[in-house]
Chain A
Amino acid sequence: MDFATILQIVDSAVRLMTPLLLACLAGLYSERAGIFDIGLEGKMLMAAFTSASVAYATGTVWLGLLAGIGGALALSLVHGLASITFRGNQLISGVAINFLAAGLTVLLGQKIFGLGGRTPSLEGDARFHAITLPFAENLRGVPVIGPIYAEVISGHTVLVYLAFALVPLTWWVLYRTRFGLRLRAVGENPASVDTAGVSVTRMRYAAVAICGVLCGIAGAYLATGISAGFVKDMTAGRGYIALAALIFAKWRPWPALFATFLFGLMEAVSNRFPDLDLGFVTIPSMFMNALPYILTVIILAGFVGRAIPPRAGGEPYVKER
């Protein structure tokens, strides 16, 4: 395998990890606040549909992005209402959201566009396009660094850069701000926040809303960045993989970056080598395609050491004496 091939795979991994990273960070905010969110998948799917629809209708991708955020946010609030206000079971609410999104997107898509659940292809300003960073072409000749800069770092859509910028930002918010302190506290011991005179409900809604916004961006990226339109079930389990990455990363932002990169890399490798020929044996494409999911199972089975979730995670907060 030569250097150029490796660069191409890494470049593709960066592209593919972006929705995972966004969804993973979305889950991080929610779960750090004690609201488990199995509905990342559904929210991304809804966002992919609304963003593609609005981008197609208006011809402006930015309006599409806003619509994507709006779509995911709406489902977030449903989750918040069910699990915070009405103290319902967070897993069931999440699963319900996934079913709702899977059905609703196809139904609305067919009703509106009549293409079997797809949206029409997006063109021109209705899509996010790659940005070539300054001097990318000029520096291509510089050994090693040049190609890395031009191939891997340059040439992505703005949402990719946004996703990567969100990693240090999230770290800073969590560990350096008042909001982050309270967010982490509310996921560990909501009673401590409550007795300190801070509203647990408000903190948790804020976290769930941030989760919705990030899922919205992730979904919009899928439909208007990587692809040119919405396709039925286009998230293909990315919401669940993001959850696995979140556990792998032990609910911390920097490890989330590496975890999602790992999953992105798996996907990139399987895309690049559908039938991996190792000389003595050829690994069939089915196996390569299943690789990210196999990795998910291995990680969730706990082969990565003990991951301690936020202590109050999954439990509705009830004030007690």
Chain B
Amino acid sequence: MTARSGAENMAPAIELRGISKAFGPVQANKGIDLLVPRGTIHGIIGENGAGKSTLMSILYGFYRPDSGEILIGGKPIAITDSLTAIRAGIGMVFQHFKLVQNFTVLENIILGAEDGPMLRTSLGRARAELKRLAEEYELQVDPDALIEELSVGHQQRVEILKALYRQADILILDEPTGVLTPAEADHLFRILRGLRDEGKTIILITHKLREIMEITDNVSVMRRGEMVASVKTAETNPTALAELMVGRKVLLRVDKAPARPGAPVLEVRDLRMVDADGVERLRGIDLSIRAGEIVGIAGVAGNGQTQLLEILGGYPEPGAKLAGEITLKGQPLALKGSDARARRRAGIGHVPEDRQVEGLIMDFTAWENVAFGYHDAPEFQNGLMMDNAAIRADAVGKIERFDVRPPNPDLASKNFSGGNQQKIVVAREVERNPDLLLIGQPTRGVDIGAIEFIHKRIVALRDAGKAVLLVSVELDEIMSLSDRIAVMFDGRIMGERLPEQTTAGDLGCLMAGVAPSDQDAEAGA
């Protein structure tokens, strides 16, 4: 660093001039200009499909731009492949980590950056370097742990370490907090600030406005392939950014009337579950949801929320032992021998947490996916055959009403953006008008416009007198959408709160398993 001349230090870390890239008829990037000063954290926001990822892929050598110029540290450079990008000092932390699951941390770090044909020296040097980086930037990981044994947060650290080991000066992070718990995200931000203070340049791609406001120095907004604004973070606000992103006014707060709860719809009594490995996942859950009410379950991922949803949805993990009572509108539901189809018929709609695995068959068309789970309904039968015309017509209506884009029912589900995939799943479940809607992580990886839409539909379902069980790791979402909040920790409900009478700090304590005071416990019960 010291050897660099003053002039070079003044040059921006990255400068893009008129970058354009088209995939067939789709113009993913249109004349993008971007200036990222050295030693800053620069946010890039935009809805899914706005062209953020394409732009970053161009910077990392995955694609060649059709036109335009890239300057790194003031020098024009042709980034033809990832190796060129790495040599230019660019490190990339992808949304989906590029790690070898059954390799150790150390092996992943040196992969592609080995010192010579034998591994021994590389491993030794990497171990020493890792120790240094861990101390310098709070990036502790066990160098000999296998990746598959690490938490997502630690895996992400390995990705950052990989970039630093390759002496990256510019670090690009694509949606880094999507998979992290709030505490892990905070830690990540501390690391990023530390890196910036050391003179590294960081580009943060996200669609979470809160993160942009919290950590970035400057922010650029992309919309439909174009860079629509670049501003100093201190001189803007979330509402203005959201409008720039979507191109119209957006309601960040959920606009809803007070709940008018009716009769209980779902009653869960002392629900317990021990999984096939003998781990106790649920330790006596008591929960009641009434008609016309949204109950939000807050909690760090992995505290039993997934198991609760799966059991209510009728597909507990195979080999699990269950105990307790579940009643739906006064009718007991069988714990054993339950299946998802029976639950659907009983009036439970389910938007599962992982839409790509549980919610959709990615290779099937949108209209087929809109019908799944309900394709055996009498109105879709035509003697022995399925009445595909009827199914398709029904699906087309739902796709229109849920504003799925592109509104093409014959497109394979994998070709929709995350937000539109989620709309397909929500459309399927909500339009069947269930008495109880289970909805897990409704807006994970979903862009702002679609979040607003999905939230509105959830509230509309509630206002129609239906019960909603919302599970989300996004505290903001829980706080703004729920009429009542239950916090789960280690397979238990730590406490219940009313959203207007609690704070993020209070919920955070419950999420971390800090027992509430006796008084609180009484109020919660």
Chain A interface (Cβ within 8 Å of chain B)? 175-182, 184-185, 188-189, 191-198, 311, 319, 321
Q: How far is the CA of A181 from the CA of B92 in the complex (A)?
A: 21
| B residues 110-126 in Cβ contact with A at 8 Å | 110-114, 116-120, 122
Q: How far is the CA of A35 from the CA of B122 in the complex (A)?
A: 27
A176-B120, A321-B53 given; A192·B100 CB < 8 A: yes
Which of B83, B98, B102, B111 touches A181 (beta carbons < 8 Å)?
A: B111
Would you call B62 an interface residue if the criterion is a C-beta within 8 Å of the partner chain's C-beta atoms?
Answer: yes
Would you call B339 an interface residue if the criterion is a C-beta within 8 Å of the partner chain's C-beta atoms?
Answer: no
Interface contact B119-A177, CB-CB below 8 Å: yes
Which of A177, A180, A188, A321 touches B54 (beta carbons < 8 Å)?
A: A321
Chain B interface (Cβ within 8 Å of chain A)? 53-54, 57, 60, 62, 81-83, 85-86, 92, 94, 98-103, 107-108, 110-114, 116-120, 122, 162
Interface contact A178-B118, CB-CB below 8 Å: yes
| A182 surroundings in chain B (CB, below 8 A) | 111-112
Interface of A is mostly: helix
Specify the chain B residue showing the minimal Cβ separation from A198: B112
Q: How far is the CA of A118 from the CA of B389 in the complex (A)?
A: 61
Interface contact B81-A181, CB-CB below 8 Å: no
Interface contact A192-B98, CB-CB below 8 Å: yes
Distance (Å) between the CB of A201 and the closest chain B CB? 12
| B53 surroundings in chain A (CB, below 8 A) | 321
Which of B54, B57, B112, B118 touches A176 (beta carbons < 8 Å)?
A: B118
Interface contact B108-A178, CB-CB below 8 Å: no
Some 12 contacts from A to B, beta carbons below 8 A apart, are: A175-B119, A181-B111, A182-B112, A184-B103, A188-B101, A189-B99, A194-B98, A196-B82, A197-B85, A198-B83, A198-B111, A311-B102
A178-B119, A185-B103 given; A197·B62 CB < 8 A: no
Interface contact A319-B117, CB-CB below 8 Å: no
Q: How far is the CA of A248 from the CA of B86 in the complex (A)?
A: 40
Distance (Å) between the CB of A31 and the closest chain B CB? 15
Specify the chain A residue showing the minimal Cβ separation from B83: A197
The 3 closest A-B pairs by CB, nearest first: A196-B112, A197-B83, A192-B98
| B111 surroundings in chain A (CB, below 8 A) | 181-182, 185, 192-193, 196, 198
Interface contact A181-B110, CB-CB below 8 Å: yes
A178-B118, A195-B82 given; A188·B102 CB < 8 A: yes
| A196 surroundings in chain B (CB, below 8 A) | 82, 86, 98, 111-113, 162
| B60 surroundings in chain A (CB, below 8 A) | 195
17 A-B pairs besides A185-B103, A195-B82 with CB distance below 8 A are: A175-B119, A177-B117, A178-B117, A178-B118, A178-B122, A184-B100, A189-B98, A192-B100, A194-B82, A195-B98, A196-B112, A196-B162, A198-B83, A198-B111, A198-B112, A321-B53, A321-B54
Which of A180, A192, A197, A321 touches B99 (beta carbons < 8 Å)?
A: A192
Distance (Å) between the CB of B338 and the closest chain A CB? 28
Interface contact A197-B86, CB-CB below 8 Å: yes
Interface contact B57-A197, CB-CB below 8 Å: no
| A178 surroundings in chain B (CB, below 8 A) | 114, 116-119, 122
| B94 surroundings in chain A (CB, below 8 A) | 195
Which of A177, A191, A311 touches B98 (beta carbons < 8 Å)?
A: A191
| A184 surroundings in chain B (CB, below 8 A) | 100, 103
| A194 surroundings in chain B (CB, below 8 A) | 82, 98
